[in-house]
Structure 1
Amino acid sequence: MDAGRALTFGGLAADLLAAPPLLGGTRLVCVDGPAGSGKTTFAGRLVAALGDAAELVHMDDLYAGWTLTGAVARLEAGVLRPLAAGRPGAYSRFDWTAGRFDDVPVPVRPAPVLVVEGCGSSPRRLDPWTTLRVWVEAPAPLRLERGLARDGTAMAPHWHRWLATEAAEFAREDTRRRAHLRVDGAPVTPLTSGRFAPLDDTCR
């Protein structure tokens, strides 16, 4: 891949479907990066390009509130290990209003591609199963602005604590350097127009 060359979500989807699956019959895509960078938008566009070939899981549904602790373990136990064995997976979604996990599990079928998006979605422990690691980034002031616009200014203390939490996770896992593809999530148009610009040529 040429650095700076604009790519399409359709092209990336085709490349993924042509790649060998590492998670049973599923190709695992982990879309990681700091909060407010554009991960959800990127993942949504990729899943739309994949159509029925993809399932999508949000790490926000696996966090037990404003903490990363236990989220990957829940993803691995409920979703990834069953898919690796060729079985459907499931997880309980965290209800941020009620402050607890729902009783009714969300099913995850063994689709050709599973896209998992969210902070901390691509730790080293998942590398043997992962086909593509994507890092989405944007300037910190823009990310904070996006987050508070979505969640409200009353959430500012939580957001500031979260920024420190995620920074420690990314440093521990060396997340940015390990990504196969790094994407600039600052411009809105490239992510919503069906095209995106990679930051460099790290996509294998």
Structure 2
Amino acid sequence: MLAFDGPSGAGKSTAALEALSLLGSRAALVTTDAFATWASPVSWWPELVSGVLEPLAAGRSGSYRRMDWSTGVPRPGARVAVEVPEVLVLEGVSCGRRSVRPLLSLLCWVEGGTEAGRLAAAVARDGEAQRAELRKWQLFERGWFAVDGTRDAAAVRLPGTAGADQPKH
């Protein structure tokens, strides 16, 4: 398993899609966007474990119900099947959480520049109507990552794609 974690708007999806492109048909992608809601940013994890991670570990296909945001309010959507891949790519906030790290082959942290730059990227992606929720999400994830120690646990740190205000290394 390969995980791309980091703050909202950092460029995790872009990095994960690049990895998928390189891995081709040997890989499958599961994103935390399919599970998380404003009210439940990380507590959905047991659904991913029981629906996807455990079946795949046993050599069986898994599945999960994707969150449908088409009305602007999250509700359970279509069921998504996940065939047993050679490499499972996890992408999104909290996918590199402490409880899954022993199972990961690689944890990549995507930096993504400043909070302001990441917020601008997330608003550009999700729409101006989501700005207040995205800002609350940023505050939540700041605390989550500090407690979980995700960034420090990552073997690889990527600069991300949140815009021109990337930190200079």
Unaligned stretches of 5+ residues in structure 2: 164-168
Q: Is 1:93 equivalent to 2:52 in the alignment?
A: no
2:96 aligns with 122
Task: Give me the whole-angstrom Cα distance separating, in 1, the residues matched to 2:95 and 2:120.
Answer: 23
Q: CA, structure 1 residues 156+36, in 2 after alignment: closer, same or farther (shift >3 Å)?
A: same
1:184 aligns with 159
CA contact (8 A) 1:33 1:135 kept: yes
2:117 aligns with 142
Q: Give the alignment's TM-score, normalised by structure 2.
A: 0.89
Deviations 1:124-179 (A, max 9, x none): 11122111100001221211111111222221110111001111110111000000
CA contact (8 A) 2:118 2:162 kept: no
Q: Is 1:107 equivalent to 2:101 in the alignment?
A: no
Q: Which portions of structure 1, spanning 4 or more consecutive aligned residues, are displaced by more than 4 angstroms?
A: none
Task: Give 1:157's match in structure 2, choosing from 121, 129, 132.
Answer: 132
Task: Give 1:67's match in structure 2, choosing from 23, 37, 40.
Answer: 40
CA contact (8 A) 1:133 1:181 kept: yes
Indicate the structure (1 or 2) with the bigger Cα radius of gyration: 1
Q: Give the alignment's TM-score, normalised by structure 1.
A: 0.74
Out of 146-155 and 168-177, give the one that drifted further.
146-155
Percent identity over the alignment is 37
2:14 aligns with 41
Task: Give 1:173's match in structure 2, choosing from 142, 148, 161.
Answer: 148
Task: Give me the whole-angstrom Cα distance separating, in 1, the residues matched to 2:117 and 2:10.
Answer: 8
Deviation at 1:187? 7.1
Task: Give me the whole-angstrom Cα distance separating, in 2, the residues matched to 1:154 and 1:100.
Answer: 18
SS of 2:89's partner is: strand
**Alpha-carbon RMSD:** 1.6
CA contact (8 A) 2:4 2:12 kept: yes
1:51 alignment partner AA: G
